[in-house]
Amino acid sequence: MISKLLDFLKEDIGKEDITTQATIPKNQKISAEVIAKEDGVLAGLEESILLLEHFGLKYESSLKDGDAIGKGDVILKINGNARNILTIERVLLNILMRMSGIATYTHMLVKKSSAYGVIIAGTRKTTPGFRYFEKKAIKVGGGWPHRNTLDEAYLIKDNHIAIVGLEEAIKKARSKNKSKTLEVEVKNAEEALTACELGVDIIMLDNMTPDKAEKIIEKIKEKGYRKKVKIEISGGITEKNIDSYIKLKPDIISMGSLTTASKWLDMSLRVIW
């Protein structure tokens, strides 16, 4: 993990932090605080601590990832070499702000869905190189990260079906590995029922209106498959329209917007002496 964090730092520094090196005495010691500038859910604290420890900086925090934070709260107190603190400041804040923003947005949606027993899940719409952290932030916010990598589970999507057909794709995946979860994206009730008959684990209703999704769910219930298969709804779902989908009581709602639409939670680092 620390190697990933150091890669981020290398990207930010270049050869060296020329401003800090030129202006700050080599052995100068300071204390600083990371302050929340708005309310939210904290994430990225564990990663920040790893970075602080790597540079020999002392720290204090009464918080943990997943805690609610308010505007003005002190997230971290840091003490140590001034050059090190100033050099890692931006990467430290970027991690905290990005991850906390995702956790906050996820938590807000989880609060909406939990009364209906619906899981809020992420997708693979993540920032290249930062997927682990974004997926972890979803989990901190109470959501399900979904697949991190393509080898974790089968997910037969429209392009797979366009090439080999629905039934053939399902049969090939099942014959390859029976232990992995098998999910298939469908576009209508006929495909959904075929997938159920072939014993898939999850049916994905992708890019559908609430009315269309509801009709397909009802067909699955009528045929007696609802307790045998999980239903995931995905595609174009945001905080503005999610209520219409939650009321259908699918097992899962997956949302690319957890990572693409969540805003960063504002924070700052302040030298206190």
Q: Which of 4, 77, 112, 125 is catalytic?
A: 125
Sequence length of the chain is: 273
Distance separating alpha carbons of residues 155 and 173, to the nearest angstrom = 9
Residue reference for tokens 């979803």 = 138
Which DSSP string corresponds to the chain?
A: -HHHHHHHHHHHHTT--HHHHHHS-TT-EEEEEEEESS-EE---HHHHHHHHHHTT-EEE-S--TT-EE-TT-EEEEEEEEHHHHHHHHHHHHHHHHHHHHHHHHHHHHHHHHGGGTPEEE--S---TT-HHHHHHHHHHTT-B---SSTTSSEEE-HHHHHHH-HHHHHHHHHHH-SSS-EEEEESSHHHHHHHHHTT-SEEEEES--HHHHHHHHHHHHHTT-TTTSEEEEESS--TTTHHHHHTT--SEEE-THHHHTPPPPPEEEEE--
Establish whether 125 is a catalytic residue. yes
- Cβ atoms of 93 and 115 within 8 Å: the answer is no
Which DSSP string corresponds to 198-223?
A: TT-SEEEEES--HHHHHHHHHHHHHT
- Cβ atoms of 204 and 252 within 8 Å: the answer is no
Residues tagged active-site: 125
